Chains A and B, each alone.
Chain A
Amino acid sequence: MSAFDAELDATGLNCPLPILRAKKAIAGLNGGQTLKIIATDPGSVKDFEAFCKQTGNELLSSGEESGKFVFMIKKAA
């Protein structure tokens, strides 16, 4: 459900830092594993949609939690 294998705190960072750090974090995961990302940049919603589309990783969920944006990304197998 909301289980994840790694978490990335990207609060306070503007594009492209959340994406850049996500790219690196995902590189360290195995296929099928999930990364949770917390961000505050409102542009990150669109950014992560584009990121997943371009990298083939799956955006499991995109939502808000206590005023921050939370994304769950599953690394492609």
Chain B
Amino acid sequence: MNQRMPAIQRRDSILKVALALFAEKGYHGVSIDEIARQVDVSPAILYRHFDSKQQLYDTVLQAMSGQRESYVETVVNSSTSFEDVLIGMTQVYIKSVTDNPDMLRIELQSLLEGSAATNDFFKNRWKSFTDYIEFGLNERMSHEIPNREITIMAAGLMFQGMVREALIQKYLQPHDRLEDLSMDELSQELVALFLRAVGIHKSHLSRRGVISN
């Protein structure tokens, strides 16, 4: 019965299984044999769709990067204030991980596996945030602040750390404290805290009534 599956469907099925396995065990922890077994085909058939395990892995990553269009929507639809765009981007990013937490697992696996190409892939995704933050802070931070450059770099790091940590705790750790908090609420709080930390005034009260000054 499997032999009759159309090629596109077979390919999608392989990608789906590969994503789950790479997320669970990392690139080096998974063999083509194992993926083939779970898709219920012979390795030979799998190799008809993908030249190598590396190529399969790269395709899985590429398939994951479909969120970029949504940053465009955020910029087009929201005001162009730094705060609004940052919150919009954060929510888009969080949603993409919410829809597919295996993306986060693959990212963490790759960090430990140390593959330069893969790490560049994920670094590039964060670069959208760090570039944007750097850009926004450069415009707003007083030039008299000592160590201005380091502060801006640290701000980008802090942002990435807090968002990634929130995602890790929300999706990868069972019985998490954040169970009752929606990611939307959490992301708004985090961005509001971040803005206060870098000295940017948020023009309205946050929903919890914490006054920003």
Residues of chain A touching chain B, judged by Cβ–Cβ distance below 8 Å, are 13-17, 19-20, 23-24, 43, 46-47, 50-51, 54-55
Contact = CB atoms under 8 A, between A and B. Distances in A.
Given A14-B128, A51-B76, A46 B69 contact: yes
Contacts of B75: 16, 19-20, 23, 51
B190 interface: no
Nearest to B71: A16
A23 B71 contact: no
Given A23-B75, A55-B76, A15 B68 contact: yes
- The residue among B68, B75, B89 with the most chain A CB atoms within 10 A of its own CB is B75
Contacts of B71: 15-16, 19, 47
A13 B131 contact: yes
11 contacts: A13-B131, A14-B131, A14-B132, A15-B72, A15-B128, A16-B89, A20-B85, A43-B68, A46-B69, A47-B71, A47-B72
A16 B128 contact: yes
Interface of B is mostly: helix
- The residue among A13, A15, A46, A55 with the most chain B CB atoms within 10 A of its own CB is A15
Interface string B49-74: 00000000000000000001101111
Nearest to B70: A50
Contact of B135 (A17, A47, A51): A17
Contact of B76 (A14, A23, A46): A23
B72 A19 contact: yes
- The residue among A14, A16, A17 with the most chain B CB atoms within 10 A of its own CB is A16
Contacts of B132: 14, 16-17
Contacts of B135: 13, 17
- Across the A-B interface, give the 5 residue pairs with the lowest CB-CB distance, nearest first: A16-B71, A50-B72, A14-B131, A16-B75, A14-B128
Contacts of B80: 20, 23-24
Contacts of A16: 71-72, 74-75, 85, 89, 128, 132
A24 B139 CA distance: 15
A9 B94 CA distance: 30
Contacts of A20: 75, 80, 85
Contacts of A46: 68-69
A54 B68 contact: no
Given A50-B72, A54-B76, 17 more contacts: A13-B135, A14-B124, A14-B128, A15-B71, A16-B85, A16-B128, A17-B132, A19-B71, A23-B76, A24-B80, A46-B69, A47-B68, A47-B72, A50-B69, A51-B76, A54-B73, A55-B76
